A and B are shown apart, each in its own frame.
Chain A
Amino acid sequence: MKRHIISILIENEAGALSRVAGLFSARGYNIETLTVAPTEDASMSRMTVVTSGSDEIIEQITKQINKLIDVVKLVNLSESTHIERELMMVKCRAIADKREDINRLCDRFRGNILDETPTSFVIELTGEKSKLDDFLKGISEDHIIEVVRSGTTGILCGERGFNA
């Protein structure tokens, strides 16, 4: 069971998201995260799916997604050098000594404090999934009020673009 990050270019048609999401649920594949947004080409959207499975399952997932009529192109980013990032916003209780602790942790992880009250912070953090997980471990669980994560997106390294 390896983790894979699959980047999909799909026609920007109504219902495109449900075609991909429906495929995963109908065939019982895992979705860890799923992000969708427009691209530089207005006619297409990019979806990034983080999933996991054996090599056989991942092969089926990529074939089945490719088979969707609206899918223009697909790349399994995990098979090449790539960069992946996720955005996280954390609302946490911050009083007395803990305020300074969290501030220091935030600096170390290069986070930004976006909102501040006498008793709380909203912190923004970007990075790979593992970095975000580590940051959350750094703030003890009982201080976390809410965690909002965007899901992972990724891009291939080097000059070559993944376009239609």
Chain B
Amino acid sequence: MELSGAEIVVRCLRDEGVEYIFGYPGGSVLHIYDALFQQDDVRHILVRHEQGATHAADGYARSTGKPGVVLVTSGPGATNAVTGIATAFMDSIPLVVLTGQVPRAVIGSDAFQECDTIGITRPCVKHNFLVSDLSKLAETIKKAFYIATTGRPGPVVVDIPKDITDPKVKIPYEYPKTVDIRSYQPKVKGHPGQIKKAVDLLLTARQPMIYSGGGVILGNASQALIDLTRFLEFPITQTLMGLGAYPATDRQFLGMLGMHGTYEANMGMHQCDVLLAIGARFDDRVTGKLTQFCPDAKIIHIDVDPASISKTVRVDIPIVGEVQFVLEEMMALLKAADFKGSSQDISEWWASIERWRALDCLSFDRNSRRIKPQRVIEELWEVTGGHAFVTSDVGQHQMWAAQYYKFDAPRRWINSGGLGTMGFGLPAAIGVKLGHPEADVACITGEASIQMCIQELATALQYRTGVKVINLNNGYMGMVRQWQEFSYESRYSESYLETLPDFVRLAEAYGHVGIKVDQPCDVRPALEEAFRMKDRTVFLDILTDPSENVYPMIEAGKGHHEMRMAPGVSTDTELS
């Protein structure tokens, strides 16, 4: 079979099993768009801005576990995609981003819509390729999918000069079945000696903690994590990226840790004697002040990426390998070791944890006459039975969503954790909905974040992706305002949005349903109504208490045991 470069691109996607490609046409990719037009296997989703394409593909990838695919043109198409590529890179999300490039003959001549896409994206991709020869096109696309989805996943950019896709030049096509890259051999199995040492250490623990991250979700190791945690009967905390891997409603779960983690999770970290870190990377938002991080703990760290181990925190037992494999090996050893007989009694440790938990650090004023954002999230959880896919933007609403929506399953909580990209939530929700057409999908956002990619409301209409936008509207860039209150003596420099659109009319202008909610008692009926309209995108503009802050909070330079609690929540020093 002889195909042109443009046809090869589309055939490769089909042969890779790609359902959706998120993109926006332009000069350098017109041949590819023409090839897309003439087939029905791969469905193109036309976004309204290339950043939206990358976020939508990202949301699709995070929620389905399959790679997200993007197609954009050269120059501004590629640069607009960069924010989304960097977002996926920081959270290790598999994306394949195809960018058009000017024809080979004019590369380097400052041609129209030319930019050095390879150079611009290099620091924020797992790898990138410039296709310099038509005969290498199919192989390069195969490599891109392989690299994006194996080892520690990440985005891969394939930059394709326009003349490579020339419809007049045809070559025989065959999609490679396998790929072997001598310089890229990701490690799967952990070192058996290290796994044995780790199990021996776990058996000596009197005050153990399990701390798991996004790697458990990316590695589809949720069940292995649940099995191990339940078997050991250890307390577990999770990072922002790890939520859902272990059910949040389970007694052994202490909530999220870190800057806005729970009291019990952070105190547990501070006082533990053995820490089992699984698919997490000791991010600064998690560790607090490094010199005070887990001062008395021996640390075991399982990660597929050797560079994540001992990057910020030195660990005692590193294990490089896929999380699922390592956890299953640990389970096998524990069962063989007759664990119950050889392990320590940790009931005193659990008693301490229960005392910390009894402080109820996430309590808030439930009798307020203003709408409390925390309560909105709780009601969303109740209305959706805890089963919704929830995307978020970045800021206070993101933290409240993480704290109050109790995720019981992996891949349900979709947010930009590493890069913290405002504008992520709405396009990500569209991607999630396409991957899960029957599911309830909510985008928890704020009036500042939502405006960064609001044009994607048009995409939501075009593809009838009925997502529910929960706009926690407090008039401020809430997290900026909170930091200014705490650290800048309430000098609210440029964090108040003096002019806001009428979101209800805006949603209606885009062809959706808009509902304004300004009374606490109206929140629940509005949510119920929104989710009843299965196929409609509903924009709930919920006016929340502008003075509300996210608690607890570990401020910059503080340790896990130095949390700032919500007003009215005591921190009995006896307990710490």
Interface residues, chain A, with chain B CB atoms under 8 Å away: 10-11, 14-15, 18-19, 22, 26, 56, 59-60, 63-64, 66-67, 69-72, 164
Contact = CB atoms under 8 A, between A and B. Distances in A.
B230 interface: no
Nearest to B307: A63
A74 to B, nearest CB: 10
A14 B183 CA distance: 15
Interface in B279-312: 305-307, 310-311
A126 B101 CA distance: 45
A164 B183 CA distance: 9
Interface in B112-146: 118-119, 122-123, 126-127, 130, 132
Given A15-B118, A18-B119, A22-B123, A72 B307 contact: no
Nearest to B152: A67
A64 B309 CA distance: 11
A59 B310 contact: yes
Main secondary structure of the interface of A (DSSP, over half): helix
28 contacts: A10-B183, A14-B132, A15-B119, A15-B122, A15-B130, A18-B119, A18-B122, A19-B122, A22-B123, A26-B123, A56-B310, A56-B314, A63-B306, A63-B307, A64-B307, A66-B306, A66-B307, A67-B305, A67-B306, A67-B307, A69-B127, A69-B181, A69-B183, A69-B184, A70-B127, A71-B183, A72-B182, A72-B183
Contacts, number: 39
A128 B354 CA distance: 63
A53 to B, nearest CB: 14
Given A22-B122, A59-B310, A72-B182, 18 more contacts: A15-B118, A15-B119, A18-B119, A18-B122, A22-B123, A56-B310, A56-B314, A60-B311, A63-B306, A63-B307, A66-B307, A69-B127, A69-B147, A69-B181, A69-B183, A70-B127, A71-B183, A164-B182
Nearest to A61: B307
A29 B126 CA distance: 19
In the A-B complex, the 7 residue pairs with the closest CB atoms: A63-B307, A69-B127, A72-B183, A69-B184, A67-B307, A26-B123, A63-B306
A70 B192 CA distance: 28
A108 B341 CA distance: 74
A161 to B, nearest CB: 17
Contacts of B132: 14
Contacts of A66: 306-307
Contacts of B182: 72, 164
Contacts of A22: 122-123
A70 B307 contact: no
Contacts of A14: 130, 132
Nearest to B126: A69
Contacts of A11: 183
Nearest to B119: A18
Nearest to A65: B307
B303 to A, nearest CB: 11
Nearest to B124: A26
A63 B181 CA distance: 18
B521 to A, nearest CB: 52
Interface string B153-197: 000000000000000000000000000011110000000000000
A88 B544 CA distance: 70
B290 to A, nearest CB: 12
Interface in B339-373: none
Contacts of A18: 119, 122
A14 B123 CA distance: 16
Nearest to A59: B310
Contacts of B184: 69
A164 to B, nearest CB: 7
A43 to B, nearest CB: 9
A156 B310 CA distance: 28
A164 B181 CA distance: 13
Contacts of B183: 10-11, 69-72
Nearest to A44: B183
Nearest to B311: A60
A83 B11 CA distance: 52
A19 B147 CA distance: 16
Contacts of A72: 182-183
A13 to B, nearest CB: 9
A56 B306 CA distance: 13
A70 B310 CA distance: 23
A22 B125 CA distance: 12
Contacts of B306: 63, 66-67
A60 B305 CA distance: 12
A64 B305 CA distance: 10
A79 to B, nearest CB: 17
A10 B127 CA distance: 14
A11 B306 CA distance: 21
